[in-house]
Homo-oligomer: A and B are copies of this chain.
Amino acid sequence: MLDRIRIVLIGTSHPGNIGGATRAMRNMGLDDLALVAPRCDPKDREAYSRASGANSLVDAARVHDQLEEAVADCTLVVGASARSRHLPWPLIGPRALAESLPTALAPAQSRVALVFGREDTGLTNAELQRCHRHVHIPTNPDFSSLNLAAAVQVLAYECRQAWLATREAAPAADDDAAQPFGVAWDNPPASHADMERFFAHLERTLTTLEFHDPDNPRQLMARLRRLFLRAHLDSMEMNILRGILGTMDKRLRDTAPAPRDGE
Could you list which residues of chain A lie within 8 angstroms of chain B, going by C-beta atoms?
20, 23-24, 26-29, 50, 52-54, 83, 87-96, 137-140, 143-147, 149-150, 153-154, 157, 160-161, 164, 181-186, 206, 209-211, 220, 223-224, 226-228, 230-233, 236-237, 240, 243-244, 247-248, 251-252, 254-258
Complex CA distance for A149 and B94, rounded to whole angstroms: 19
Complex CA distance for A118 and B102, rounded to whole angstroms: 35
- The answer to whether B150 touches A27 (Cβ under 8 A) is yes
Known: A90-B183, A183-B89. A210 touches B147 (CB 8 A): no
With CB as the reference atom, state the residue of chain B lying closest to A208.
B251
Identify 13 residue pairs between A and B in the complex whose beta-carbon atoms are under 8 Å apart, listed by A's number: A24-B147, A29-B139, A89-B181, A89-B183, A90-B181, A95-B161, A96-B182, A138-B160, A153-B154, A211-B243, A211-B247, A248-B248, A255-B258
* Chain B residue contacts of A247, Cβ below 8 A: 209-211
- The answer to whether A54 touches B143 (Cβ under 8 A) is yes
